Chains A and B, each alone.
Chain A
Amino acid sequence: IVLTQSPATLSLSPGERATLSCRASQSVSSYLAWYQQKPGQAPRLLIYEVSNRATGIPARFSGSGSGTDFTLTISSLEPEDFAVYYCQQCSNWPRTFGPGTKVDIK
């Protein structure tokens, strides 16, 4: 299953709303997660099963969608949210990731 993410880069200011998209080449049902990665760090699980926040993830992060189209929303960007975000499916083997969306400071 191929995952595509858009946009490749999102330039926003702190306090703004970020909307990231992930599209699957075939249905992944609800088996979709989102990860955040900052430079020099390992990725961190944010959202699993489309809309469930992982432990310790702030409520400003939310996920939605089903089937082939999914969205990660950051309601109000904090300085620490500027990073690369990946979606990942676990509906089928092999597990696959999207190419990522970089959220940078405008």
Chain B
Amino acid sequence: EVLLVESGGGLVQPGGSLRLSCAASGFSFSNSGLNWVRQAPGKGLEWVSFTSASGASIYYADSVKGRFTISRDMSKNTLFLQMNSLRAEDTAIYYCVKHFQWGYFDFWGQGTLVTVSS
């Protein structure tokens, strides 16, 4: 069974930093691309970032480029999202999502809530 378990969310002040983690199991982590997708409260879905299986290809949404960094630890089957210079508009549930075929999202974690507020 594919499992993606996010952690690390919480309340942070504007300008602050947070590091999200996603523990993965039930599939070949080293052969799978992974994404972060977020959803602001009561709003739609926004893709945030992607890393290929090897980490050689990485993409970011313009809204987070230069502030967020995606990475992965192959030894721990864990995906990370380092979030710096956080803004109120970054407030959202952040989902860890497995990449499928060309660029679909076939398995989702339960999400972790990030709240940016003073």
Chain A residues with a Cβ under 8 A of chain B: 31, 33, 35, 37, 42-45, 48-49, 54, 86, 88, 90, 93-100
B47–A43 touching, CB < 8 Å: no
Of all chain A residues, the one with the shortest Cβ separation from B62 is: A94
* Chain B residues proximal to chain A, CB less than 8 Å: 35, 44-47, 50, 59-62, 95, 100-106, 108-111
Residues in chain A near residue B110, CB distance under 8 A: 42
Q: Please measure, in the bound complex, the distance between the C-alpha atom of A31 and the C-alpha atom of B60, giving whole angstroms.
A: 19
A48 close to B101 (CB less than 8 A): yes
Give Cα distance in the complex from A98 to B45, angstroms.
8
Contact A42 B103 (CB under 8 A): no
- Supposing A42-B111, A44-B108, A86-B45 touch, asked if A95 and B101 sit within 8 A by C-beta, the answer is no
A11 to B104 alpha-carbon distance, docked (Å)? 28
Q: Which residue from chain B places its CB closest to the CB of A5 in the assembled complex?
A: B44
